[in-house]
C-alpha cells in the first residue's frame, strides 16, 4: 500500500505544484495568515478528513482514521512567509509587495497536503491514524507550535515527524541527525540613550552611535572567548539604527540581534555577558540603556530511535548514496516544541538545482527550490507512517 500511495502522490503532483505556486504568489506573514489556512482546510475537507481550524490561533489540523486500530502518527508543515521583496523572475513571483515565501514553507504545505490526499486513498489499509498539523507563524517568536500544542493538537499522538526543504542540499538528497540538530534562538534589543548635539562638537554630546559601535565589536568576542569552544554558539547583531542626518548626533541608538546556542549553560552565559558589555560600555560614556532579552525556541533534539527510522526509510526512498548525516544547524525551528512533548524526528530534504537557479540561501530575495522536493517529502512522510504503524 505504500507504493500505491506513492503512485497517488505522483498523480497529484501537478496539482500540488499549482497549490505551491498559488501560495507563493499570495504569501502571508506570521500571525496574519487568513487565506492560506482557508485553502488548506478546504483541501483536507475534500479528502474526507476530520478538520479543525483556528487551532492555537490560525492553525489547521486534520485527522485521518485508518481502517484498523493502532497508534497515531502526526506530520507537521508550516505555512507562513517572510517580510522580503521577491526578486525572482518567474511566473509565480509573489504578488504581495514586501512579502514572499523565502524559506520553503509553501513547499512543506504542498507536500503535506499531497501526503494527506495519498493516504486518504488507502486509509482502509492503515493500522492506525494520521494527524496532519498545518502550523502558522514558524518564523516569528513565540511561534505557532507552542500555541497549537497548548490547544491540544498533540492529544492522542504517539510520534511526530517534520521536514524542511534546503536550498544548499541538492535535490534528491535527504539529511538526518540524531540528537541535537538545530539551535535555540533568542532575541535581544538594546536602546542606548545618549545626549544629542552637533556633529562638529562631539565633546559636548554623548554619542549613542559610538557607544553602540563599541558594543557591537565587544559582542562578537563572546562566543570566541567566553563560551566553551566545544559548545557551539552565535551572537549576531542584525540591526543598528541611530540618527537621521549626516551632521547631527542623535539622542538614541538601538541595536537588535539574535543568540543561537545548544546548551542552557551557554544560553545563560551569553545573556549575562551581553548585559555586562552593554552596562559597562554605557557607564564609561555616561549613557543610559534599556536591555531586553526574549527567549525563543528551544534547541531541536531528535529522538535517536525515530531518527534511525528516518535514516532507514530515507535510504529506501532516495537510495543510500543520497542520504547524509547532517552537521549541527545554527538555524532555529519551533518544531522543537513538538519534540519536547513526543518522540519523533525532523529531517531535511534537498531543493537545490543550479539549472533553474535554485541556489540562493533561505531568506534571500531570490530564494527558490526544485519543486520535486514536494514528492520526496511526501514519499518520506508516507513511508514513515506505514513503517511506524505496522511496527506498533
Catalytic positions are 80, 138
Distance CA 37, CA 171 (A): 27
Helix (H, G, I), strand (E, B) or coil at 240: strand
Is there a binding annotation on residue 305? no
Q: How would you classify residue 152: left for phi > 0, otherwise alpha for psi between -120 and 50, otherwise beta?
A: left
- Residue 286: CB atoms within 10 A of its CB come to 10
CB 158, CB 312: distance < 8 Å = no
Q: Which sign, positive or negative, has the C-alpha torsion 296, 299, 305, 310?
A: positive
The DSSP call for residue 26 is S
CB 198, CB 247: distance < 8 Å = yes
Q: How would you classify residue 388: left for phi > 0, otherwise alpha for psi between -120 and 50, otherwise beta?
A: alpha
> Which residue do the cell numbers 520526496 mark?
376
Distance CA 149, CA 316 (A): 32
| Angle at which helices 373-391 and 13-25 cross, to 10° | 120
Is there a binding annotation on residue 103? yes
> Which residue do the cell numbers 512522510 mark?
381
Is there a binding annotation on residue 198? no
Query: What cell does 309 get?
Result: 527510522
Strand duo 184-193 + 252-261: pairing: antiparallel
Distance CA 189, CA 24 (A): 31
What distances in angstroms separate CA 158 from CA 111, 137, 377, one per listed residue?
A: 22, 24, 20
Helix (H, G, I), strand (E, B) or coil at 171: coil
What distances in angstroms separate CA 207 from CA 194, 252, 275, 282, 389, one per listed residue?
A: 6, 8, 19, 10, 64
Surface-to-core class of residue 277, CB atoms within 10 Å of its CB (0-12 exposed, 13-18 middle, 19+ buried): buried
Is cis: bond before 142, omega within 30 of 0?
A: yes
- Binding annotation for Mn(2+): 103, 105, 139, 164, 363
- Binding annotation: 103, 105, 139, 164, 363
Amino acid at each position: 500500500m505504500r507504493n500505491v500511495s506513492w503512485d497517488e502522490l505522483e498523480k497529484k503532483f501537478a496539482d500540488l505544484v499549482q497549490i505551491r505556486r498559488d501560495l507563493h504568489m499570495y504569501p502571508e506573514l506570521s500571525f496574519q495568515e487568513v487565506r492560506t489556512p482557508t485553502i488548506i482546510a478546504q483541501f483536507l475537507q475534500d479528502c474526507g478528513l476530520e478538520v479543525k481550524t483556528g487551532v492555537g490561533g490560525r492553525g489547521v489540523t486534520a485527522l485521518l482514521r485508518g481502517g484498523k486500530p493502532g497508534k497515531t502518527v502526526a506530520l507537521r508543515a508550516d505555512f507562513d512567509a517572510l517580510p522580503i521583496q521577491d526578486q525572482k523572475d518567474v511566473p509565480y513571483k509573489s504578488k504581495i509587495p514586501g512579502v514572499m515565501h523565502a524559506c520553503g514553507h509553501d513547499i512543506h504545505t504542498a507536500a503535506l497536503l499531497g501526503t494527506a490526499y495519498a493516504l486518504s486513498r488507502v486509509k482502509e489499509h492503515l493500522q492506525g491514524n494520521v494527524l496532519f498539523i498545518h502550523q502558522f507563524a514558524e518564523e516569528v517568536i513565540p511561534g505557532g507550535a507552542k500555541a497549537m500544542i497548548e490547544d491540544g493538537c498533540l492529544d492522542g499522538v504517539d510520534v511526530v515527524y517534520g521536514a524542511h526543504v534546503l536550498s544548499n542540499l541538492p535535490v534528491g538528497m535527504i539529511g538526518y541527525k540524531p540528537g541535537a540538530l538545530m539551535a535555540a534562538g533568542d532575541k535581544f534589543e538594546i536602546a542606548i540613550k545618549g545626549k544629542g548635539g552637533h556633529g562638529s562638537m562631539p565633546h559636548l554630546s554623548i554619542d549613542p552611535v559610538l557607544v553602540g559601535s563599541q558594543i557591537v565589536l565587544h559582542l562578537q568576542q563572546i562566543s570566541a572567548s567566553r563560551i566553551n569552544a566545544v559548545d557551539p554558539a552565535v551572537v549576531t547583531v542584525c540591526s543598528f539604527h541611530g540618527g537621521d542626518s549626516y551632521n547631527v548626533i542623535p539622542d538614541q541608538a538601538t541595536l537588535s540581534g539574535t543568540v543561537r546556542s545548544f546548551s542552557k549553560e551557554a544560553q545563560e552565559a551569553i545573556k549575562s555577558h551581553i548585559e555586562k558589555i552593554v552596562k559597562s560600555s554605557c557607564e564609561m560614556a555616561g549613557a543610559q540603556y534599556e536591555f531586553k532579552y526574549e527567549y525563543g525556541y528551544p534547541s531541536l533534539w531528535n529522538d535517536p530511535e525515530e531518527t534511525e527510522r528516518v535514516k532507514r526509510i530515507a535510504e529506501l526512498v532516495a537510495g543510500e548514496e543520497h542520504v547524509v548525516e547532517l552537521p549541527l544547524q545554527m538555524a532555529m525551528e519551533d518544531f522543537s516544541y513538538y519534540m519536547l512533548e513526543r518522540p519523533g524526528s525532523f529531517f531535511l530534504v534537498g531543493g537545490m538545482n543550479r539549472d533553474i537557479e535554485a541556489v540562493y540561501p533561505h531568506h534571500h530575495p531570490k530564494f527558490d527550490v526544485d519543486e520535486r522536493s514536494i514528492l520526496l517529502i511526501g514519499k518520506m512522510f508516507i513511508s514513515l507512517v506505514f513503517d511506524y504503524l505496522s511496527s506498533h
